[in-house]
Amino acid sequence: MKKLLFFALLIIAGLLQVTVLNTIALWGVKPDLLLMMVVIASFMFDLKFALLFSIAAGTWKDMFAINVFGIHAILSVLWCLAVTACSRKISADNRAVRTFILGAVIVCNAAALRLLYSSGAFVPMGISLRIIAIETAYTALFFALCFDPIAKIVLLHKDKGEFDLEGDNEAGLEPDRDGLLY
């Protein structure tokens, strides 16, 4: 049930990204909520679900993009694997560390997309770096504000046979963590 709830949050994030966030874009740049959700899934869930989620998020993003279909799905999987590997090597319990990892993913994603889709058009380096910096800062701000509420929404949702936060598990069953690592 937690995974379905997280997929519902993915759909909401995708719809927000193509509708509401257009009105609050800074200099034409808006936060990348779908990539942010991939990073959150990589932190909170096991690798199998995080990969499935990243494919879904990338495909959802590809449906709204004008680029070649599938590139966001491939890049989302790569970023999921990178975040999962980073979170195994270093402790990502700190908000600053999680935000730094997200920032690195945003910068690498923007650089990869610009390298793949330069299409012969010359964009000055200063403009590209400014766009990457704004997108990174804007997405990191949303990440810092959204990670804890999303984690609480997903983690507080009780499944049958799972302990609640007060510790009164009536059924006496072991908790089914549903693949959560957070």
Q: Identify the pLDDT of residue 164.
A: 37
**Is the residue at 167 inside a domain?**
no
**Is the residue at 9 inside a domain?**
yes
pTM above 0.85, yes or no: no
Domain total in the chain? 1
**Is the residue at 161 inside a domain?**
no
- Indicate which CATH number applies to the domain containing 38: 1.10.1760
Residues of the chain scoring pLDDT < 70: 1, 118-123, 156-182
**Is the residue at 144 inside a domain?**
yes
Range of the domain at 38: 2-156
Q: Identify the pLDDT of residue 118.
A: 64
**Is the residue at 163 inside a domain?**
no
| Rounded distance between C-alpha atoms, residue 47 and residue 101, angstroms | 17
Q: Identify the pLDDT of residue 157.
A: 55
Q: Identify the pLDDT of residue 69.
A: 80
Tens digits of residue pLDDT in 124-153: 777 777 777 778 888 888 887 778 777 777
Q: Identify the pLDDT of residue 81.
A: 92
Q: Identify the pLDDT of residue 119.
A: 62
**Is the residue at 178 inside a domain?**
no
As beta bridge partners, residue 26 has 29
Q: Identify the pLDDT of residue 61.
A: 85
**Is the residue at 92 inside a domain?**
yes
